[in-house]
Amino acid sequence: MFFCSSSGGHFGEDVKSLRITLPTDTNLYLRAMTWLNQYLSSYKGFSREVWVLALITLINRAGTMVIPFLSLYLTNDQGFSLDEVGWVMTFFGLGSVAGSWLGGKLTDVLGAYKVMAASLLGSAVLFVVLQYLDGVQAIRIGIFFLMAVADMFRPAMFVALRSYSKPENRTRSVTLIRLAINLGFSAGPAVGGLIIAGVGYAGLFWIDGLTCLIAGVILLKMLSPRNSKVIDENKVDLPLSPYSDKLFLVFLLAMTLFGVVFLQFFSTVPVFYNQVGGLSEYEIGILMAINGLFIFVFEMPLIKYLEKPGKSKMWLIVMGTLLVAVSYFLLNVSAVFGVLTVSILFLTIGEMVAFPFSNAFAMDRAKRGKQGAYMALYSIAFSISHIFAHNAGFHAIDEYGYETTWYGTVILAMICVALLLVVISMERKENSRSFLSEEK
C-alpha cells in the first residue's frame, strides 16, 4: 500500500532524478580532477637543481625587506631630503648595472656556482654593514657596492638555470623562478612592516643579511659541482661576444623600452588610481593583489600551453607587449574600478607571456657565445629601465598630464613592437643563411 501511494510515486521520480544527476556530478568531478592533474603536471619535469634554485630565490626574495622600505628608512630614520633620497636611488640603479655586468664577466671566467655563492654571502655581510653607515655620501657608496654584489647573482643564476634545464621546459624553468620571486616579494614587505613596528629599521638589515646567508649555505650544500648534475652543458670553441650580436642588441633595446613601459605599473599607475580613480590605499592594494594572484595561479599552466616546439618566442613576446599596450590605453577610456580591473588583467597576462619568453630567448641566444656576458646584458637592460622609467613617468605627468602620458606609454610600447618585428626579420635572414650554408 505504501509504495502505491502518491508519496511512493514521488519517491520513484526522485530515484529517476538521482539516476540523471549522479552521472552529471561524476562528470564534473572527473573534469575537475582532470584539470587539477593537468595543472599540477605543469610543475613536473624540472630537475632537482632547478627546484633548489627556486628555493634559494624564494628565501632570498622573502628576505628582501630593506629595498622596499629604503626610501622610508632614509627619510624617516636618517632624515634625508627627497633630493638626497633621489641621489641614493640613482646610486642604487648604477650599482645594479655594475653588478649585472660584473656578474656576467665573472661567470664566464669562474663559473655560475662561485659567482652566486660570492654574491649571496657578500650581500649578507653588506646588508648588515649598511645600517652602520652615516651620512649621504657614505650611504650612496654603501648602496652602490651592496647592489653591485647583490646583482652579480642574476646573470650567474640565469646561466645556471639554463644548464640545469631541459630545452623543452626552459621557459617553464624561468617561470618557476619568477613565481619564487613574486611569492618572496609578497611575503617580504608584509613581514618587513611588522619588524619595523616591533624592533625598528635595524631589524630589516639583520633579517636581510640572515636570509642571504641561509640562501648561500643552501647553495653551497646542494648545488656544489659534486652534488649537482648539469643537463645542458654548452661549450663553444670560439664564443661570440654579445656586443657583436646585432640581433641581440636590437632585442635588448626593445626590452629596455618594454621595461620602461611596464615599470609605470609600480610608480605612476598607483598614483593615477588614487588621484584620478579616487581609489583608497586598500582598493589599490586589491588591484595589485589581482596581478600577483593571477600570476601565481595561472602563469605556469599558461607557459606550459604556449611552450611548444615550433612556436616562435619572439611572436609571443610581441603578443605580450601588445596586451600591455592595451592595458595603458584602457586607462584613458575610464577610471572606474571595473575598467581598471580589466586594464590590470591585460597588463598581467602580457607580463606573464612577455617576461618568461624574453628570458628564454636570451638564454637560447647565449649558447652562441659567452653566456655570462649575454645574460648580464639582458639584466642590465632592465636595470637601465629602472633608472629612467620612474623619473620619466612622473616628469611626463607633471608636464603633460595623465592622458598624454598614457598615450605616450602606448606609443613607446608600439615602438618596442616595431623593434621586435625587426628582430624577427633579422632572425629569418639568419636562419636562411644557416640553411643555405648547411645545404652547401
Residues 211 and 283 in one domain: no
Do 208 and 96 fall into the same domain? yes
Q: Are residues 168 and 268 in the same domain?
A: no
Same domain, residue pair 283 and 429: yes
Query: In the prediction, which pLDDT does 242 show?
Result: 87
Tell me what pLDDT residue 383 has: 87
Instruction: For residue range 237-264, list pLDDT tens digits in order.
Output: 566 788 889 999 999 999 999 999 998 8
Q: Does residue 39 form part of some domain?
A: no
Q: Are 317 and 424 in a shared domain?
A: yes
Of residues 266 and 341, which shows the higher confidence score? 341
Q: Find the range with the poorest average confidence among 16-30, 57-71, 195-209.
A: 16-30
At residue 391's C-alpha, the angle toward residues 291 and 349, to 5°, is 20
262 and 196 within one domain:
no
Does residue 81 register a pLDDT over 60? Answer: yes
Helices 48-62 and 153-164 pack at an angle, to 10 degrees, of 160
Give the whole-angstrom CA distance, residue 167 versus residue 234.
Answer: 12
With 80 as the cut, is the pLDDT of residue 77 above it?
A: yes
Total domains in the chain come to 2
* pLDDT recorded at residue 192: 78
Per-residue pLDDT for 18 more than 50?
Answer: no
Asked if 78 and 137 sit in the same domain, the reply is yes
| pLDDT of 2 higher than 70 | no
* Per-residue model confidence as pLDDT tens digits over 134-176: 888 999 999 999 999 999 999 999 889 988 888 888 889 988 9
Residue 37 in any domain: the answer is no
Question: Mean of the pLDDT values across residues 262-283?
Answer: 87
Instruction: Confirm whether 52 is domain-assigned.
Output: yes
Label residue 33 by pLDDT band (50, 70, 90).
confident
Q: What CA–CA distance (Å, rounded) separates 167 from 186?
A: 30
Single-letter amino acid code for the residue at 31:
R
11 in a domain, yes or no? no
- Nearest Cα to Cα of residue 409 among 187, 262, 244, 261: 261
The reply to whether 5 falls in a domain is no
Cell numbers describing residue 53: 634554485
- The CA-based angle 403-404-407, given to 5 degrees, is 90
What is the CATH classification number for the domain harbouring 313? 1.20.1250.20
The predicted pLDDT at position 408 comes to 97
Residues 217 and 334 in one domain: no
Domain holding 417, by residue range, is: 241-440
Residue entry with cell 634559494: 56
Measured CA to CA in angstroms, residue 372 lies from 50, 115, 173 at distances of 18, 10, 18
Whether 66 and 127 have beta carbons less than 8 Å apart is answered as yes
Cα–Cα dist 154/150, whole Å: 8
Calpha distance 168→143 (Å, rounded)? 39
Please give the Cα distance from 257 to 381 (Å, whole number): 9
